[in-house]
Structure 1
Amino acid sequence: MSIRVTHENGVHTVIMDRPAKRNAFTMEMYRNFGAAVALLDADDDVRCIVVRGEGGAFCAGSDIGGFDTSRSNIEQAREYARFTLDMTNTLKNTRHPTVACIEGPCVGGGLEIALNCDVRIAARSARFGLPINRIGLCVDHEELADLIGVVGHTVALEALLQGHIFGADEALQKGFVTRLADDARVLDDAYEVATRIAEGAPLVNRWHKKFVRRLRSGLPLTSAERDEAYACFDTQDYRNGTLAFANKQRPVFEGR
């Protein structure tokens, strides 16, 4: 399948498992990736999703070996984009918090997958880029909007115009990643972050993710949307959390 899912203590990991090709995506991988994330999205027991690649690589993008048959004209390219975006948008739109653990190459479509995650932790030796002008390809408008939403217009355009591969320090400086870790520590650091997320109140984490996405739209909030920020006071998790705090205990959240 080339996509595997593991889980432990509320942290579920989606693993891109095609190391011989640096985890470059085939159509089947896109399909399985979307299906795996959709199942996790529907599961109330999920507290955090980690996305990572197997074999010391995150993802080298889409496998260009299939471009001759899947993107040989405008109609095929439109269908390809719609299908792949439908699959990767399951990650962007999931209600659960997400963490990208980035090792090795994270380029093209692989970088777009990483940018769809809420937290992006990269090894210091990781490499990034959007070198699609080297093969005569444009970024779809929806993909471009996602890129601009994370790093801004100027950085997005610079990366696309240069088409260069850059290192983790530059990626951190320009907002492609949120933090760096030593190569030997990147997995541990990513799961420590995921565990801290998983230990928080899951409803609150989902609400905060929803609210941030809504505010990024720039549209005015309705009264009902403003009031949703106070729905937490009616949850069992709020009662558990405040009681645990008063008793100097670790809270146990139920997600209700």
Structure 2
Amino acid sequence: MSSHGEDIELSLANGVAEVRLNRPNKRNAVSLAMWRRLSEIFSGLAGNPEARAVILTGSGGHFCAGADISEFAEVRADVEAGRVYEHATEEATIAIRDWPGPTIAAISGYAMGGGCGLALACDIRVGDPTAKMGIPAARLGIIYSPLDCNLLYRQVGLANAKRVLYGGRPFGFDDCVRMGLLDIAAETDALAAARDLALSLAENAPLTLKGSKLILEACADGSAAARGTEIDAVIDAGIASADYAEGRQAFMEKRKPVFVGR
């Protein structure tokens, strides 16, 4: 499964999907059409049992410079257009955040503004020493939505979230690691490190990965008690699964398990 030559490229092999922003001449700035396409891609991958992990990355040495501000005069010119635009960005962010399995952002170069938001929507951020992250909203007169603010807040804490939003400047690799904007520091190549991680995760039991994500997210947003029936059903499905039987058998036989996702 692959698509090439588009503003967003998609490939899938060995259980790992790669979604690549592909506008290197604009440092992968995201157009309105691309926000909508991201939502479609991640929603589609959610129904694909062959995709066990997803890497989000960018072409040409940069993750994403943010939203394509050059089109704002047309697509974000007034309050009404702004609401339509924000709806598209939020749909994309939610589709990434709620993708049922592990998602990894592989960050080289700039991950600014909307690009930083895309990285924060992923489960894990892997960056290399070229990474620069930040949100320049304060330099553009833009106020970020509760969704984006919450993703930033839960990743770096209140004080660092204010530091990022108030300052509006890019932070270098070391600051990103210290604040928690980056979870894993790659020595040289973020994408290579992300691929190694994704392949290792794709070998694990898909039902466990999905169930763990569902429960952790419910704990994080305070909905675990309200979703108790759903959580119990996920746990019960794991116990009844062929993968659980395979995991037990492989452990007893001292071999690597082969999970099928059911």
**TM-score past 0.5 threshold:** yes
In the alignment, is residue 188 of structure 1 matched against residue 158 of structure 2?
Answer: no
**Which of 92, 96, 111 is equivalent to 1:91?**
96
Cα displacement string for residues 167-202 of structure 1 (whole angstroms, at most 9, x for unaligned residues): 11111111111011123x322211110011000000
**What's the % identity of the aligned pairs?**
33
Q: Matched residue of 1:24: which SS?
A: coil
**TM-score relative to the length of structure 2:** 0.93
Cα displacement string for residues 92-131 of structure 1 (whole angstroms, at most 9, x for unaligned residues): 1110211110000000000000011111100111101111
Q: Matched residue of 1:111: which SS?
A: helix
**Which of 189, 211, 214 is equivalent to 2:215?**
211
1:24 — aligned with what?
29
Q: Matched residue of 1:133: which SS?
A: helix
Partners of 2:224 and 2:34 lie apart in 1 by: 38
How far did 1:5 drift?
0.5
Cα displacement string for residues 44-99 of structure 1 (whole angstroms, at most 9, x for unaligned residues): 12110010001110000001001111112112111110122112211111102111
> In the TM superposition, what are the counterparts of 1:67-146 in structure 2 within 5 Å?
67-146=72-151
In the alignment, is residue 251 of structure 1 matched against residue 252 of structure 2?
Answer: no
How far did 1:138 drift?
1.1
AA aligned opposite 2:239: F
**Which of 65, 68, 75 is equivalent to 2:70?**
65
How far did 1:227 drift?
2.8
2:171 — aligned with what?
166
List runs of 5+ in structure 2 lacking aligned partners: 1-5
2:248 — aligned with what?
242
The 1:220–1:44 alpha-carbon spacing in structure 2 relative to 1, beyond 3 Å, is closer
Partners of 1:168 and 1:21 lie apart in 2 by: 21
Q: Matched residue of 1:55: which SS?
A: coil
Cα displacement string for residues 123-148 of structure 1 (whole angstroms, at most 9, x for unaligned residues): 11110111111121111222212221
How far did 1:220 drift?
5.2
Q: Matched residue of 1:165: which SS?
A: coil
**TM-score relative to the length of structure 1:** 0.95
Q: Matched residue of 2:171: which SS?
A: strand
1:221 — aligned with what?
225
Aligned 8 A contact 2:127 2:186 in 1: yes
AA aligned opposite 2:242: Q
